[in-house]
Structure 1
Amino acid sequence: MTLDISPVEQALLIGKWSKNIQHTSLITSLAKDVVDGKIRDVLTSPSSRRVFSLHLDNGDLDKTFDSWFDFTLDTAADPAEQELLHLILAVACLHGFLQMNWTGPDLDITLLDILTVPDTLSTSITAEFLQQKAIAELAYGGEPAYHLAQLPILLRLAKILTDLPYNHCHSAAWWRLRTWLVHQQVLDEPVAAPSDVFTSVQSLLKGLSSHHDLAGRLVLEQGLLEHYLSHDKAAAELFVRAARETKMEYELTGALGKRTKFQQSDVTQLILLAESRLRQDEEPEESKAIGVADPSSEGADNLQDGILPQTLALNDDTLLEQTQFTSSSAGTNSKLSHIDPSAQPALHPLDQCILLSLCLNIKNTSPVNGLTAEQMKPYVARVISHPRNWSVHTMALLLRSRLEADRTRTVERATLQLQALVDQMPTADSSLTERLLYIHDIPLPSKWEMERELAKRFLSIGVTKSALEIFERLEMWEEVVTCWQSMEMRDKAVTIVRDLLEGKKAEAETIILRGKAVTANRRQTMDAAREAKLWCLLGDLEPDYALQHYQRAWEISKGTSGRSMRSLGGYYFARGDYKNAITSLRRAVAINPLLSRSWFILGCAYVRDEDWEGAREAFARCVSIDDEDGESWNNLASVYLRLGEAGTVIHDDEEQGQDAALSSETREETKEREIPFSNKMLAFRALKQGLKFSYENWRMWNNYMIVAMDVGELSEACRALGRVVEERSSKDGADCVDAEVLDRLVNAVTRASPKPDGQGENGATDSSADNPNEGHGLLKRVTDLFERVILPRVSSPRIFRSRAKLLTWQGLYEEAVNAYLEAYRCGVASSMEKGETDVKKWREGVEEVEETVDVLRNFGPKVEGYKWKLQARSIVRTFMARTKDFEDEPEWSRLTDLQEEVRRED
């Protein structure tokens, strides 16, 4: 009788065994043991040892693990059952690794308990050999794996098994995704996962449209992998989609309440209203699914096994333990208006996982400011208020600890809470099944990462010695070096790294594994990726020998160390050797293309080398990795213009879907170029995108203004000019106003008919009211620029003349005349005093007087009741009285003639 493997796959995915599964066969018994957390029993079972039986001789020890085993399916047996056995063992290995390194408690098993080793190899294949070989093979994309991870061979076996071809087990692709989620967290830096990790689960997702919780889980886990890869935008979209899949309703809103013990009146507090959908037991219907099902029945369970993680009280003399809401409803008209903020219903654990991920994503996609923390707190508080799962509650407490670390009143609890979370890992206060139930759906860090975070927390509050002890125990030598440098003991840091490389200082795990003193061949057994990293660290510490050390790291790694090439690239760039910098950084990004900093320095090297095509590629990769990198957007825009200057035309369709940005360019350079319009538009879009994340960068605003003028986006140019004035007026005064741009903006308005429904200069009907870049469509923004931004801050004759021209076009003659007079008062003529000897300055003053009198003649009669003649005579008379010393100059006769003309006006 053929086994129906679909229900077994479902049970493995959701972490709960269904009573409807008939587990009479050996394979189903193994699956049930995995679900029940009996990982040791599964991995030491005869079936497991048979699958993990080594097929090699002494000459094959240098081959990779996947060639050690024979996973070929037996044609005489049921292929579906054989595939299911491989999948069960993969899940057991993955969960065993998570138990050892994430959730605890410790797994009582050794490396040799898992493998069946031939007698001929028993002396060659030791636990130490397997440990180091597994760590070396887990290194990926030039990034080493954490060398003190316990039983790394379990993760390596899980990866090998999930990479096998599966024709019957539909959920294998999902488990491969989960394995990559774990693998990313073992590496020093994120490395791009194979594209098929995401694409292979899409067909599975299509079959889950009616199975809400499983669909939500799958989407959430894809989002978490995107998060680990620093693809925050993609992760955000997937987290929101996961909430839609599970039908969870949530809304961030406000409700009246108190946050302090002495608060007398209620004020609006930020709160997250959330409600899970009502779940019923859908298991019989879901058993018909294509290898997966909706774990809906788990929503009815509270925390089933053991006790909760220790939740420390705040015990503050001012702040309340949690916000006390006094209103019975929040200020919302949504579907959640019926929820009482002070008594919200408990959420399903999966929905809690989604909220924690959404909270995490707020941090990733928001600027670093207090508002971010305030936005995140309601998400965390909503989860903490109703504990439903040990691991989920642990994650919520960890996030709260991070949020409270920067506040004086909460920093103590934040540190002690993190210490408590670290201490709870080895305990058995809850069952393994409880801890593993949602481990794939939350960004819970590994044990060593949590301890590293605790050590960094100690550093932040000045407890350097405790931090150093943790870093040394975890053998995180970069952090150890940082600690010694912070204590101004650089020589001590150099000694530690040299001792490690020379074998004089043994790492703790090496001693434990060997049970004896370190031997001279330790350096040969250290995996290449880790040794290369140590050489790079030594290069950082010894600048005079940095080049040799970085090159040595590259040789040790046999051309796989991305860190060594990144360091070499930085070394050459700092010394102006851009050719070698480009070569090194090219190798670095080929090994690990996810690190935007490497692409950025590479782009800068290309710019210095005037390789504009290379620079465009580098900065485009920067913004594709991190679309909030304003500096990269800025430089990308500059490159677009340089490409145009070099005669390269980039068409919009070539760059479809990619926004762009500019670096600082002078107007004189821009005018001289013959840059294609398409290049300018890409530069404009780049700056527009980059300014979202560099709002206070006045240089970018200045560049944006210039390019916007070039491409005809005058409304945006007006906005950019306003931002430059706001940022620079206090330092530069009137010089912060680009007078040429201001004049062009005014001209763009005044070219249109004064009346919106009138005719333009060529007699055609004027439609400028509908165009934000000319005429009446631009008028409001230019007027606001003068009245709200420029004039309250700075003034100059040219600014007032531009203002007067705009007012004249509007028919506001009195205001226009006043603006011209303000221009005169700010000018040279008004500022000249008796005794001046500067002839050039005086001649400029003469021209200003003549211009001002002409303005009064032209517009004075149009202002009812305005005594413009008296004003004109006063201006001429006063100027002549102050500058009598210049009576011998030829221009003096112009003043006397002008004075006589004004008198004759009566």
Structure 2
Amino acid sequence: MEALLHSYLLLAASPEELAQDTYLNCEQKNQYYNITAAILSGNSYTVLQELDQHASIPSEINESSIINSLSKLADELVIQDNKLSLLFSIASLQTFIQNNYTGPSTPINSLEILFDIESNDAKIKSLLNETLVSSLTVAGQTSYGLVDHPVLLIFSLLLLERLTNQQTLFNTVLDDTPIPTISKDKDNYLLNIAHWWRARALMTHISLLAEPSGHQPSIAASILESIDLVHSISSSLPTDTPENLKKKLYVIYYLENTKCSLIINTEHLCLPSLIKVKKLTNFKFVLTGARAKRTKFQQTAHSGLIILAESFENMAKKSNITDSNTVEQTPENFDLNSDLLLEKPFFESIGSEPLDEQIVKKQKANISGDEGLLDDKILPLAIRQENIPRELQVLDPNNQPKLSDYDEIQLLLRLYTIRQTTPAKDPLVEEELSAIVSRILYQNGSKNWTIFSRSLWERSIIETAKAKTIERGLLQMQSLVEELGLKISTRLVPQNVDETGSSEVRMKYIHQLPFLARWDLDAMLAEKYMSLGVLRSAVEIYERLEMACEAALCYAAVGEESQAEQILLKRIKNHPRDARAYSILGDIKQDPALWEKAWEIGKYVNAKNSLGRYYYKPPKNSGVTQDFSLALKHLNDSLRQYTLNFETWYFYGCIGLECGKMQLAAEAFSRCVSLDDTNAMAWSNLSAAYVNQGKLKEAFSCLNRATRTDSQKNWRIWENYMIVAFKLREWDEVLLSCKKLIDINKDRAGEGAIDLPIVEKLVEILVSSDYPKDDETKLTYFQKSCIDFICNQLPAVITNNGRIWRVISKVELWRNKPWNALDCYEKAFRAQSHNPDLEINEDVWNDTIDSCEELIAAYESLGEREGRHGKGSFVCKDWKYKSRSTIKSLMSRGKNNWDGTEGWERLVEMRSQI
């Protein structure tokens, strides 16, 4: 029974689903059932009110004493009833999230519930709250100072640490991250459920910080990267449990795995989980192009991006029993009310594009070498109409079917992944994001509050970057901030939705989407004001939120460093343990002492990163010389404290390469590719470290990965790959890289893209064996590819290099095609004789004589051989005449300048021998 109850809690199922479960209805409804029903109804705070034990208030209130008091209470509860303690930890976490992330506020005083304290003792409450907020500091980063009910998050974390038998992260300095072990044994399902909730609580804790740091990110990631977490829970469920419920557990697991990667800045690890959850829900969607009208007076439709998507029928039907109750409980969606723009683009039907234009686009796509359907991307892409899956081709682009909630979350997570992995303000990326948001917003049917409000927020972020939609964007953002109903005393937008009973709906998918706290929404609104130049409004919001560091950065961004310094100095005076404030002040003043102070008081990793950059490239007026050893030391300190920072590992490795510490560089770039195995430059730099260590096979493997992940077609990576493959005598790869280099560089460098010594070596390898003389002997893959490269691709690039034509002639002779070989000799001579320096530079003249001599020798040796038309035909029947004509034309060009020279005498001798 417990496994089933906790499955409903993990899924945040509706109370109706719990009540309709036939298995639970057969069991006697006990205290665990009633608590589960209360949590699922959005009344978690009522569960906490049932606590009959309290933590004592220590005589001296400080972080250590408060944590010890709460830990003692947690120990007592776990000893008494660990199952009940798990439910209390869940209720505590959910209540904290409701009060800070989703709203509406709960009518409780958490300090009075957990501490033995009088209700009118305001001074003690204020001191307790301040101390509890300070206890949430991680690696020098203070949590947000105005967070509500911090004791609930701390109490939940302490309970979950006890329930999972893990070392506490409070009041403890740990050298190594205590990574938990997840068991797949179904008997340990309650332990794994506690691990899962601990990961959720840790992600909540991380969201209170300016950036992820400490051990929390590593622990949360390690819990959610083990699929055994779900295996043990699903296998412990009753045998008659619906498969749909088990399936949903796996779905939310992969969604939360993706969310964790986004939160801890390892967003490049999101794609595998997104692909798995897409297959699990059988979600069909694709990004493609369609003609659309965007303005009211537009006569001709122009191309635009659109997401065609359809949920699997069963998942859509069973996604949410309470859909009918959620229609009215959504934030207000403001109309655009534009005299020019349509409310949403009006798309022509997919397939109405003229046939001749489709053919042109198809040819272009084939030339670029792209596949028609790119399904392994963050957004599956259909380049051409026929590549759109059949079930999506029939959809009406202006009235697409309702998606299931889980599929909408998938789209939002892909949006966040794209935003974190692409350049900011890229027009094409903005169009992709807009297509995602539009697919979620503009559909009929019921809407979940969390998903709908998050989609409105993302649309507002996109619209505030455009002049014609900025008004609606800002109004919508302000409305969503007020919609939470948290800490809002004055409303600018009238409230027209009753919040009563909405907490259940708002909490349903909060653990599958990245957290956006009420202060984060306000801070983003301030960022938008700042980007628009409305500095005063931005600063007012930061001051109201008591975000001194953000306000200082705001002033520094517009060149008012003195004002920023004053704000930070005031912050440091009032909060002397705020390491982030010290570090930012150090960034503004470029003062290493301030960074050292930030590290001393809080092990703040960004302070060490700044010190590393400072000693790697000191400011010109600092009087400090470049010091690689000191830079590496500071970066090493930073990485020992927080090991998941890709940029710091990359910088660490680059310095190692620059100063010749190849073992250090190899270790750094190995960590880089473990964090992001799609980064081509990290693989390439790792190969460079291995090459310098003499580990060519390892370097070759790394470069192979780099070429497969290099979406930018970096020619340097391919050149390095070719060189290493050449040293290892991997001729197939040498040939491949040589082809690729020519494809990349031919438009820029022409025949300069051809690496002639490499081509000559490939030809030497090719002609070292006999060409097959019968049909039974087949060419090897290398021989086929090399012949195609030499005889078909190279001639398309060559303009005036005779040496390359002579190389091609060797292959044509090897293929028993002497007529082609002779043609190559003729082209080689023409390329040389057309040199404009022929009549003024004797070296060029002598080179032309050499080319002429080779052509005459070719005429003589090949002219009378059997031609391309078989017996009775010749390669060049009048070879003697052509030989004399060639010599005569060359003599006529050089007579005035080179008569009597050694080259001239050679020509005379050649003429006399014919």
Common fold, TM-score beyond 0.5? yes
The structural deviation recorded for 1:320 is 5.5
Does 587-596 or 797-806 show the bigger shift? 797-806
Aligned pair partner of 1:159 in 137, 152, 157: 157
- 1:252 is matched with which residue? 286
How far is the alpha carbon of 1:592 from its aligned partner?
0.8
Aligned pairs for 1:160-179 (under 5 A) are 160-165=158-163, 169=190, 171-179=193-201
Partner of 1:383: 440
- What CA distance in whole angstroms lies between the structure 2 residues aligned with 1:453 and 1:193? 27
Gaps of 5+ in 1: 282-294, 504-521, 650-675, 759-764
Amino acid at match of 1:301: S
Report the equivalent of 1:275. 311
Aligned to 1:193: 218
Quick one: which amino acid aligns to residue 785 of structure 1? Answer: Q
Distance 2:112 2:336 in 1: 44
Following superposition, the deviation at residue 226 of structure 1 comes to: 2.6
Aligned mates of 1:122, 1:74 — CA distance in 2: 27
More off after superposition, 878-887 vs 149-158: 878-887
Q: Look up the equivalent residue of 1:539 and give its one-letter code.
A: G
Work out the CA distance in 1 between the residues paired with 2:887 and 2:291: 69
Indicate how the Cα distance of structure 1 residues 318 and 726 shifts in structure 2: closer, same or farther if over 3 A, else same.
farther
TM-score between the two structures when normalised by the length of structure 2: 0.78
Q: 1:251 aligns to what SS in structure 2?
A: strand
Cross-structure match for 1:610: 660
1:687 corresponds to = 706
* Map of 2:613 onto structure 1: 570
How far the C-alpha of 1:861 sits from its partner, in A, is 3.9
Is 2:174 the partner of 1:146? Answer: no
1:770/1:376 CA distance change after superposition, 3 Å: farther
SS state at 2:162 partner: coil
Q: Which has the higher contact order (CA 8 A, sep 6+)?
A: 2
Q: Distance in 2 between the 1:728 and 1:336 partners?
A: 39
Indicate the residue corresponding to 1:668 in structure 2. Answer: none
Q: Secondary structure at the match of 1:189?
A: coil
CA shift, 1:593, in A, is 0.9
CA contact (8 A) 2:195 2:223 kept: no
**Equivalent position amino acid for 1:165 in 2:** L
Residue 315 of structure 1 aligns with which residue?
338
CA spacing shift, 1:362–1:124, aligned 2, 3 Å = closer
Cα distance in 1, alignment partners of residues 788 and 451 from structure 2: 53
Residue 333 of structure 1, CA deviation? 6.0
In the TM superposition, what are the counterparts of 1:222-237 in structure 2 within 5 Å? 222-232=257-267, 234-237=269-272
Report the Cα distance in structure 2 between the residues aligned to 1:413 and 1:372, rounded to whole angstroms.
Answer: 21
CA displacement, residues 703-735 of structure 1 (integer Å, 9 cap, x when unaligned): 223223334444544454444445545655543
Which residue does the alignment assign to 2:506? Answer: 435
Q: What residue is the counterpart of 2:408 in the other structure?
A: 352
> SS at the partner of 2:115?
coil
TM superposition shift of 1:6: 5.1
1: CA distance, partners of 2:350 / 2:684: 48
Counterparts of 1:226 and 1:873 in 2: how far apart (Å)? 75
Cα RMSD after superposing both structures: 3.9
Kept after mapping to 1: 8 A contact 2:548/2:571? no
- Offset of residue 616 of structure 1: 0.6
Superposition deviation, residue 599 in structure 1? 0.5
Residues 615, 627 of structure 2: 8 Å contact kept: yes
Q: Deviations over 1:561-605 (max 9, x none)?
A: 212211111122224311112211111011111111111111122
The equivalences for 1:299-338 within 5 A come to: 301-303=324-326, 306-313=329-336, 315=338, 317-319=340-342, 321-324=344-347, 326=349, 334=390
Q: Structure 2 CA distance, aligned partners of 1:396 and 1:456?
A: 19
User: Residue 449 of structure 1 is aligned with which of 520, 529, 535?
Assistant: 520
8 Å CA contact 2:63–2:134 kept in 1: the answer is: no
How many angstroms apart in 1 are the aligned matches of 2:37 and 2:743? 67
Question: How far does residue 128 in structure 1 lie from its aligned partner after superposition?
Answer: 4.1
In the alignment, residue 481 of structure 2 is paired with which amino acid? V
The structural deviation recorded for 1:816 is 3.5
Matched, 1:541 2:622: no
| Superposition deviation, residue 264 in structure 1 | 5.2
Report matched runs for 1:29-428 at 5 Å: 29-43=34-48, 45=49, 47-48=50-51, 50-54=52-56, 56-58=58-60, 62-63=64-65, 65-71=67-73, 82-110=81-109, 112-117=111-116, 126-140=124-138, 143-165=141-163, 169=190, 171-191=193-213, 192-194=217-219, 195-196=222-223, 198-199=225-226, 201-202=229-230, 203-207=232-236, 211=245, 212-232=247-267, 234-245=269-280, 247-252=281-286, 258-260=292-294, 261=296, 262-263=298-299, 270-278=306-314, 298=321, 301-303=324-326, 306-313=329-336, 315=338, 317-319=340-342, 321-324=344-347, 326=349, 334=390, 342-361=398-417, 372-384=429-441, 385=443, 386-404=445-463, 410=469, 412-426=471-485
Q: Percent identity?
A: 23
Amino acid corresponding to residue 565 of structure 1 in structure 2: K
Aligned AA for 1:201? L
Q: Is the 8 A contact 1:387 1:393 kept in 2?
A: no
Partner of residue 284, structure 1:
none
Q: CA deviation at 1:891?
A: 4.7
Partner of 1:627: 677
For 2:9, the aligned partner's letter is: L
* CA deviations over 1:180-199 (Å, ceiling 9, x no partner): 23223222223433124554
Structure 2: 5+ residue runs without aligned partners?
165-187, 238-242, 353-384, 486-494, 619-625, 866-873
1:852 aligns with 2:899: no
Counterpart among 555, 559, 564 of residue 600 in structure 2: 555
| Aligned twin of 1:879 | 890
Q: Is the 8 A contact 1:680 1:710 kept in 2?
A: no
Deviates more, 1:51-60 or 1:587-596: 51-60
The Cα shift of 1:840 comes to 4.0
**Alpha-carbon distance, 1:641 to partner:** 0.4
Match of 2:374 in 1: none
Is residue 827 of structure 1 aligned with residue 884 of structure 2? no
CA pair 808-387 structure 1, distance change in 2 beyond 3 A: farther
In structure 2, how many angstroms separate the alpha carbons of the residues matched to 1:827 and 1:328? 54
Q: Call closer, same or farther: CA 1:267–1:123 in 2, change over 3 Å.
A: closer
Q: Deviations over 1:95-153 (max 9, x none)?
A: 2222232112334445533332368x998983443344333332335654333433323
Whole-angstrom distance in 2 between the partners of 1:402 and 1:807: 62
Q: Out of 811, 818, 822, which is 1:817 matched to?
A: 822
Residues 271-301 of structure 1 show CA distances to partners (whole Å, capped at 9, x for unaligned) of 42312443799xxxxxxxxxxxxx8662653
Aligned to 2:649: 599
Determine the structure 1 residue equivalent to 2:490: none
Change (3 A) 1:885 1:376: closer
Q: 1:12 aligns with which of 9, 12, 18?
A: 9
Give secondary structure in 1 for the equivalent of 2:633. Answer: helix
Are the structure 2 counterparts of residues 564 and 486 from structure 1 closer, same or farther at C-alpha, using a change threshold of 3 Å? closer
SS at match of 1:443: coil
Alpha-carbon distance, 1:751 to partner: 3.6
Instruction: Quote the offset at 1:643 in angstroms.
Output: 1.1
Match of 1:701 in 2: 718
Q: Does 1:894 align with 2:903?
A: no
What secondary structure, in the 3-state scheme, does the structure 2 residue paired with 1:604 have?
helix
Return closer, same or farther for 1:240/1:726 CA change in 2, 3 Å cut-off. closer
Could you tell me whether the CA contact under 8 Å between 1:829 and 1:844 is conserved in 2? no
Cα drift, residue 694 of structure 1: 3.2
Q: What displacement does 1:391 show?
A: 0.8
